[in-house]
Chain A
């Protein structure tokens, strides 16, 4: 019987193969060309002929920066060149520093200069579309995120170049005796969580569709392109020129990720790229350090604008001593590590993330309790609850970290929620609770995550570690702000140890809390941020203030704080200030940011919008509710000519693998079922035939 069954099966299988045999012969697996290896482009180039898609519009940028003390004034000029034979509207998603205050925009065509104006966002959009339709040259810039903007330039004639110029002011960061100025040149594709909204039509030109959690997903996901796939002249080149007037004698100036030439002359450093221009595939970062005994204790910059007086203050607390093991607080720490293992972390990023986490594990004391959560589309926790850092636990943790691989989505919220939940579930009141969050921050639902942190933080403190050559610094900085911790950048493996050492000193040293500023009674002061942060080792306090009149020679501001049960105070004379343009703009920018944060403390968005709009229009800065629009009076595109839309791709960040596609499962069980059905039928007939009913 069994022999019979298998015979029938083989027969059927043979018949089935036979039926399709002719098709198989035509395209046999062996005769196909060599298969591509991992990370290769889909198809090799045809012999002799390059069939790669040439972008119709090509972008070249130039950035000129002047740093005066704490303020960087940046001029970014971008040339949009239309290489096609058609009239074009170019769209480009521009990354900018998350603290930038964009205060001017204009464009040039040949010798004509057309100045941009600040308008309410919807109005600006209407003005732009009208100009675009009527054939006038026009430019528009809209804020999508504080570090992500959409630029549109309409009616570029065939062969023509339009130069779009942006100006922004930005505060320079100061940490651990070092000034840092950073500028993103591309972005890491953001993960878009949520369910697709089918009712919305995508208009943004991005690769993602709007979802319930990220309704503007189509606007923040520009096409990405690899350097390898581009012609030499199309690698989104940028020239960088920085004039650094630090106002202090400097020990040195360092560029983290680019080779630069540094010339020193007459009180300033002049920094340019050694290569002339570079592709925009990673952040640019400059760091400068004052000589050892000249580190600033405080600085005041002032500006008068529209009859009002503004000041930017930096106060550096004395070095917070690290008592190490003698510190009683050191004995009871609870540390939660969250590591991002999503697809965007692939390549160099995951290696950097794993190394930093392993370094952090090696610093744990047996008295510390810890846990690790790794997340991509799902998250998993190393231990069910916090565990003492025994030798066994550390070994287990190292093994867990070693096995991590990058892949999948970035479902950050559930991981963060669980991490904060575990810390809150911990009973002891005196423990220091710290959450170290290692990620590239490439998510589209930033606001929801800030809200989650604000609502669930409890006594814990959140420290973000930004990984990769183009992280979402907006998320990193803001998450740390809502988490009342600090943020650090690790973009190349070589800086990992130093940056982690900084972070450890912040985690292990006592914190300065209960900060208060006291102003002379006769001055009316509006100071931002409203809620002063806690200060960690090496951090200064930076505040933006508006005064009703110029500060007199006797006026002083005093800052009070508490470090490990000791009170500390520092006074800063206000008259000893430097006049500097940009102070008023930066105050307005800080206030906009502070107002928007009130959303997470329950203020209704409509009244926030009214305040922000008024402020941004008055100070002429870009915000979520204001845009710059520039329109030329002259009509240049003839009515008969059509306008083509072109998106300019952003470069894939250095060290990142190109976006991999997961090929779908493309077979059903139907043929197998059909075959089985036939087989069973054949067998039934066979049995009926050979065992007729006469035996019954």
Chain B
């Protein structure tokens, strides 16, 4: 009898383990696969003078920029930034905060992404690391990682300063946090570097 209970417990645990694993795998797979599809949409955007191109038929967002983040000049991560920063965008790629400056224009461009998918390497960014951003019109701009800070969104409002020409990357903090509902956000600021490329 006891053995049967133990057997059931083991089976139950294995199933729970598999179920949780699937859940995580689904999130990672979606985040990875979507970027591949979005890459195609981005190429189409560039070929169509910046006109929005949906990455798949039923998508409610579209790519607005391409980011290239160079970690210590060794590794490069390419990301396709989607319009809007609600869950529907962030599941598939970094999202551009509507209300912040459109990529390609002068002002504060804000891009957010999940700390455990697209922005999982943010902790590796070092001062003066290179970040390149391509706008929908094909033009590239170059930034250097400069400073970072952490804010608690439950305690303070963050004001948008459109006078400053800068790129702000946003992700959850601490970087290895477990619970998805935290209120701390890491803000990484990159400043323009030289002339447009």
Contacts and interface: CB of A to CB of B under 8 A. Distances in A.
A681 B17 contact: yes
A665 B119 CA distance: 13
A37 B170 contact: no
Contacts of A684: 9-10, 13-14, 17
Interface string B5-33: 01101100110111111011001100000
Nearest to A34: B149
A665 B165 CA distance: 24
Contacts of B6: 687, 691, 695
Given A23-B176, A38-B156, A693-B3, A52 B163 contact: yes
A198 to B, nearest CB: 5
Given A43-B189, A684-B13, A669 B52 contact: no
A155 B124 CA distance: 45
A229 interface: yes
A521 interface: no
A658 B27 contact: no
Nearest to B51: A201
A661 B112 CA distance: 12
Contacts of A32: 148-150
Interface in B33-88: 49-52, 54, 62, 83, 85-87
A670 interface: yes
Interface stretch (A110-118, A128-136, A219-227, A385-393): A219-227
Contacts of A693: 3, 7
Nearest to B27: A670
A666 B156 contact: no
A640 to B, nearest CB: 17
A661 B13 contact: no
Given A20-B175, A35-B150, A684-B10, A229 B161 contact: yes
A553 interface: no
Nearest to B111: A664
B134 interface: no
A229 B166 CA distance: 14
A14 interface: no
A42 B189 contact: yes
Given A36-B156, A666-B90, A671 B21 contact: no
Interface of A, secondary structure class, is: loop
A270 B152 CA distance: 53
B27 A687 contact: no
A668 B97 contact: no
Interface string A209-235: 100000000000001111001100000
A229 B14 CA distance: 58
Given A36-B156, A201-B51, A223 B180 contact: no
A447 B159 CA distance: 31
A57 B24 CA distance: 50
Contacts of B95: 664
Interface in B135-190: 147-153, 156-166, 168, 170-182, 184-185, 187, 189
B149 A53 contact: no
Interface residues of A, number: 74
B174 A24 contact: yes
B149 to A, nearest CB: 6
B129 interface: no
A653 to B, nearest CB: 15
A307 interface: no
A665 B117 CA distance: 13
A396 B178 CA distance: 43
Contacts of B2: 695
A623 to B, nearest CB: 30
A669 B23 contact: yes
A37 B99 CA distance: 21
A196 B60 CA distance: 9
B182 A667 contact: yes
Interface centre among B14, B163, B185 (most CB of A within 10 A): B163
Contacts of A679: 17
A226 B170 CA distance: 23
Contacts of B23: 669-670, 673
A225 B163 contact: yes
A229 B57 CA distance: 42
A377 B150 CA distance: 28
A666 B153 contact: no
B10 A24 contact: no
A32 B14 CA distance: 42
A675 interface: yes
Given A38-B157, A671-B116, A673-B21, A659 B99 contact: yes
Given A33-B149, A43-B147, A666-B114, A661 B172 contact: no
A223 B160 contact: no
A79 B99 CA distance: 28
Contacts of A517: none
Contact of B161 (A23, A196, A658): A658
B160 A661 contact: yes
A36 B113 contact: no
A680 B17 contact: yes
Nearest to B185: A663
B99, B124, B162 — most chain A CB neighbours (10 Å):
B162
B159 A41 contact: yes
A695 to B, nearest CB: 5
Interface string A54-66: 0000000000000
Given A201-B51, A225-B163, A664 B174 contact: no
Nearest to A674: B24
B17 A41 contact: no
Interface in A639-695: 646-647, 649, 657-681, 683-684, 687-688, 691, 693, 695
Contact of B157 (A16, A229, A660): A660
A667 B114 contact: yes
Contacts of B20: 673-674, 676-677, 680
Interface string A254-270: 00000000000000000
Nearest to A661: B160
A670 to B, nearest CB: 4
Given A32-B148, A32-B149, A684-B10, A229 B116 contact: no
B159 to A, nearest CB: 4
5 contacts: A24-B174, A671-B177, A677-B19, A684-B9, A695-B3
Interface of A: 16-17, 19-20, 23-24, 26-27, 29, 32-33, 35-43, 51-53, 196, 198-199, 201-202, 205, 207-209, 223-226, 229-230, 646-647, 649, 657-681, 683-684, 687-688, 691, 693, 695-696
Given A32-B149, A666-B171, 5 more contacts: A23-B124, A208-B98, A663-B170, A669-B180, A695-B3
The 10 closest A-B pairs by CB, nearest first: A680-B17, A20-B176, A229-B163, A677-B20, A664-B85, A53-B165, A684-B13, A673-B24, A677-B21, A667-B172
